[in-house]
């Protein structure tokens, strides 16, 4: 790259990293706040909490990477225009490729990173997150020590322990199991303790009873026992490939699904839409950069509407992205909608690339631009008048106060 191209690449790259880091930080904070109950309600450690929140980041990165690149492109173009650097580049006779080349290289990096995350890292993190959450549900030792609370382990399963005594003995145990439709089972025990053996975890219940209620017959059966072994390891069974949803599978797994997989046979459209969404996501970084350069990559004065050009580019990107989301959703049930998933970013790339090759920006009709410029000037004058009035009011208030 030439010196000016390296300069642009460094500026845009730094802006992209800062923007992406900020967006990722905000996303992580939101995710962390959502998972606070891992510590407050489920008695897990801070390490488990950090692992649980961090594993969700790769999936969320897929949304913020293109946005970070778009904002970095806007920042770079707007700053160079404000500093008259675009004027110097254009006056030197350089083509729009001088500005486009470093930004397209940055788009290529973002595209490859998006592909890596989407095809492999995000599915791996989601599977790891699922396994981790399953193991946490099985780690009832840390949950049962919380005395006097009813703790929901999973849908339909609630544990309660009245007191924890010395030696790990639990007293006043109640377990409500309604996981099976139409059937309710309540276990009570005066004593109990957790035992781990043969790679499994068990809750040994002493001196209690089992109440079974069948919704169909509305009958209740009571069984008293001296000891009963409640298997806890069922909550941490090893995940099979058939347990994974399309977004939790890598692209090679999606391309070669088990034809006997019940989920695949029931919803093959989800596999199709997930595959094409991942590949099409790699096109959007190029579409964002090329569209922004087509609208705002040329030097303009404020009267010529550089701000309105950036706004128009953002509206175009938002409109096309909305159509793309609709196309992905439609491809789940309609195979003919798949071509739209790729066509939309390609339209943005080809149309924007045409204006870049012609070395001229996308412009609104002159009549529209004149009206927008007039409205912008009127707004600036109005704001200036209001600012002067406010300053005068502050001075009068200060004199009266004195």
CA atoms within 13 Å, Cβ hemisphere of 265:
6
What pLDDT score does 138 carry?
56
Can you tell me the mean pLDDT for 201-215?
Answer: 86
Per-residue confidence at 309, pLDDT binned at 50, 70, 90? confident
Indicate the pLDDT class of residue 237, thresholds 50, 70 and 90: low
Which candidate, 261, 255, 288, 262, places its Cα nearest to that of 120?
255
What percentage of the chain carries pLDDT values higher than 90?
A: 35
Q: How many CB atoms are located within 10 Å of the residue 2 CB?
A: 11
Checking if the pLDDT of 402 tops 70, the result is no
Close Cβ partners of 142 (under 8 Å, ≥ 6 residues apart): 43, 44, 45
The pLDDT assigned to 112 comes to: 97
pLDDT average, residue stretch 256-281: 90
Instruction: List the structure tokens of 180.
Output: 């099976």
Q: What is the mean pLDDT of residues 188-209?
A: 82
What digits encode the pLDDT tens for the residues 330-379?
999 888 889 999 999 999 999 999 988 887 777 666 677 677 767 777 88
Q: Which residues contact 85 (CB under 8 A, 6 or more apart)?
A: 79
What is the CB neighbour count within 10 angstroms for residue 279?
Answer: 14
pLDDT for the residue 340:
93
Tens digits of residue pLDDT in 98-124: 889 999 999 999 999 999 999 999 999
| C-alpha of 110 from chain center | 16
Residues of the chain above pLDDT 70, percent: 84
Q: How many Cβ atoms are within 10 Å of 377's Cβ, its own excluded? A: 12
Paired strand residues for 211: 186, 222
Inform me whether the pLDDT recorded for 139 exceeds 80.
no
Integer CA distances (angstroms), 80 to 8, 12, 85, 206, 346, in order: 9, 11, 5, 76, 27
* Average pLDDT value over all residues in the chain: 83
pLDDT for res 198: 66
Radius of gyration of the chain (CA): 31
Q: What is the C-alpha separation between 399 and 402, in angstroms, rounded?
A: 5
Higher pLDDT, 7 or 218: 7
Q: Which residue did the predictor score with more confidence, 247 or 48?
A: 247
pTM: 0.71
Q: Tell me the pLDDT tens digit for each residue of 278-287.
A: 999 999 999 9
State residue 142's pLDDT score.
Answer: 54
Residue-wise pLDDT for 49-103, tens only, equals: 787 788 888 888 888 899 999 999 999 998 888 888 887 877 776 677 888 999 9
**Per-residue model confidence (pLDDT) at position 302:** 57
The residue ranking higher by pLDDT, 48 or 101, is: 101
């Amino acid at each position: 790259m030439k010196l000016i191209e390296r300069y642009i690449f460094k500026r845009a790259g730094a802006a992209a990293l800062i923007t992406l880091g900020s967006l990722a930080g905000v996303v992580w904070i939101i995710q962390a706040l959502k998972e606070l109950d891992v510590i407050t309600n489920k008695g897990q450690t801070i390490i488990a909490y950090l692992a649980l929140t961090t594993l969700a980041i790769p999936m969320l990165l897929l949304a913020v990477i293109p946005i970070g690149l778009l904002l970095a492109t806007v920042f770079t173009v707007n700053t160079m225009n404000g500093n008259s650097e675009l004027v110097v580049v254009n006056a030197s006779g350089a083509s729009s490729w001088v500005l486009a080349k470093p930004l397209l290289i940055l788009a290529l990096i973002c595209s490859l990173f998006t592909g890596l995350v989407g095809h492999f890292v995000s599915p791996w993190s989601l599977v790891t997150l699922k396994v981790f959450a399953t193991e946490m549900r099985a780690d009832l030792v840390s949950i049962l020590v919380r005395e006097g609370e009813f703790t929901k382990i999973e849908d339909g399963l609630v544990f309660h322990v009245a007191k924890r005594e010395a030696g790990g003995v639990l007293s006043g145990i109640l377990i409500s199991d309604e996981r099976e439709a139409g059937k309710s089972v309540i276990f009570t025990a005066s004593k109990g303790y957790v035992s781990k053996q043969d790679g499994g975890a068990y809750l040994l219940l002493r001196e209690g009873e089992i109440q079974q209620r069948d919704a169909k017959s509305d009958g209740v059966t009571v069984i008293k026992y001296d000891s009963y072994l409640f298997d806890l390891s069922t909550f941490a069974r090893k995940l099979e490939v058939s347990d994974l949803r399309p977004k939790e599978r890598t692209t090679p797994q999606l391309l070669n699904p088990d034809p006997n997989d019940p989920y695949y046979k029931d919803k093959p459209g989800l596999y199709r839409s997930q595959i094409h969404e991942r590949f099409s996501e790699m096109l959007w970084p190029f579409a964002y950069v090329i569209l922004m350069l087509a609208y705002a990559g040329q030097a303009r004065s404020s009267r010529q509407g550089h701000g309105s050009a950036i706004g128009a580019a953002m509206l175009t990107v938002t409109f096309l992205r909305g159509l793309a989301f609709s196309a992905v959703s439609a491809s789940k049930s309609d195979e003919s909608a798949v071509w739209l998933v790729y066509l939309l970013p390609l339209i943005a790339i080809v149309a924007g690339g045409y204006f870049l090759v012609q070395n001229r920006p996308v412009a609104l009709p002159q009549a529209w631009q004149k009206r927008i410029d007039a409205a912008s000037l009127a707004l600036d004058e109005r704001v200036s008048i209001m600012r002067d009035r406010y300053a005068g009011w502050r001075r009068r208030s200060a004199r009266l106060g004195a």
